[in-house]
Chain A
Amino acid sequence: MDYFLNEEQMMIKELCHRIAEEKVRPVTAELDEKDEFSWDVIKAIAQADLFAIFIPQEYGGTLSLAPNQKIGGVLDVCIATEEISRACGGIAVSYAASVLGSFPILIQGTEEQKKKYLPDLASGKKLAAFGLTEPEAGSDVSAIKTSATKDGDYYILNGTKHFITNGGEAEIYTIIAMTDKNKGPRGVSAFIVEKGTPGFAFGKKENKMGIRASATRELIFTDCKIPKENLLGKEGMGFIVTMRTFDMSRPGVAAQALGLAQGALDITLQYAKQRHQFGRSISSFQGIQWMLADMATQIEAARALIYATARMIDSGITNVAKESAMTKLFASDTAMRVTTDCVQIFGGYGYMKDYPAEKYMRDAKITQIYEGTNQIQRNIIALQMIKEMANK
Chain B
Amino acid sequence: MNIIVCVKQVPETTKVKINPETNTLIREGVKSIINPFDMYAIEEAIRLKERFGGKVTVITMGPPQAESALREAISMGADEAVLICDRAFAGSDTWATSFTLASAIKKIGDYNLIICGKQASDGDTAQVGPGISVHLDIPQVTYVKKIEEITDKKARVERMTEEGYEVIEAPLPLLISVVKEINEPRIPSLRGMMKAKKAEIKSLGAKDIAVDSEQVGLKGSPTQVVKIFTPVPRKGGQILQGDTADVVNKLAELLKPEISA
Contacts and interface: CB of A to CB of B under 8 A. Distances in A.
Interface of A: 7-8, 11-12, 15, 18-19, 22-23, 44, 47-50, 52-53, 62
B188 A15 contact: yes
A61 B84 CA distance: 36
Contacts of A19: 187
A48 B188 CA distance: 6
B91 to A, nearest CB: 35
B183 to A, nearest CB: 14
B186 interface: yes
Contact of A44 (B187, B190, B192, B193): B187
21 contacts: A7-B197, A8-B194, A11-B190, A11-B193, A11-B194, A12-B190, A15-B190, A15-B193, A22-B187, A23-B187, A44-B187, A47-B186, A47-B187, A47-B189, A48-B188, A48-B189, A48-B190, A49-B190, A52-B191, A53-B190, A62-B191
Interface in B90-136: none
A49 B187 contact: no
Q: Chain A binding site: helix, strand, loop or mixed by DSSP?
A: helix
Between B188, B190, B194, B197, the greatest number of chain A beta carbons within 10 A of the residue's beta carbon is seen for: B190
A50 B187 contact: no
Interface in B141-200: 186-194, 197
B190 A52 contact: yes
The 8 A-B pairs of least Cβ separation, nearest first, read: A49-B190, A49-B189, A11-B193, A48-B189, A49-B191, A18-B187, A48-B187, A19-B187
A214 B226 CA distance: 58
A233 to B, nearest CB: 31
A5 to B, nearest CB: 14
Classify chain B's interface size: 10 to 19
Interface of B: 186-194, 197
A390 B81 CA distance: 63
Contacts of B187: 15, 18-19, 22-23, 44, 47-48
A8 B198 CA distance: 12
Nearest to B193: A11
B142 to A, nearest CB: 28
Given A8-B190, A8-B194, A23-B187, 12 more contacts: A7-B197, A12-B190, A15-B187, A15-B188, A22-B187, A47-B186, A48-B187, A49-B190, A49-B191, A50-B190, A52-B190, A62-B190
Nearest to A48: B189
Nearest to B192: A49
B33 to A, nearest CB: 13
Nearest to A53: B190
Contacts of A18: 187
Contacts of A7: 197
Nearest to A45: B187
A15 B194 CA distance: 12
A23 B186 CA distance: 11
Contacts of A47: 186-187, 189
A15 B197 CA distance: 14
A43 B191 CA distance: 16
Contacts of B191: 49, 52, 62
A52 B191 CA distance: 10
A12 B189 CA distance: 9
B43 to A, nearest CB: 12
A74 B188 CA distance: 22
A22 B197 CA distance: 23
A53 B194 CA distance: 13
A320 B189 CA distance: 32
A50 B191 CA distance: 10
A29 B197 CA distance: 36
A62 B190 CA distance: 9
A60 B194 CA distance: 16
Contacts of B197: 7
A215 B16 CA distance: 44
B218 to A, nearest CB: 38
A22 B39 CA distance: 15
Contacts of A15: 187-190, 193
A49 B194 CA distance: 11
A19 B190 CA distance: 12
A372 B74 CA distance: 43
Contacts of A48: 187-190
Nearest to A23: B187
A22 B188 CA distance: 12
Contacts of B188: 15, 48
Nearest to B189: A49
A11 B191 CA distance: 10
Residue from A12, A44, A49, A62 having most chain B Cβ neighbours under 10 A: A49
A47 B193 CA distance: 12
A47 B43 CA distance: 14
A50 B189 CA distance: 8
Contacts of A53: 190
B173 to A, nearest CB: 30
Nearest to B186: A47
Contacts of B189: 15, 47-49
Contacts of B193: 11, 15
Contacts of A22: 187
A52 to B, nearest CB: 7
A7 to B, nearest CB: 7
Contacts of A11: 190, 193-194
A231 B125 CA distance: 65
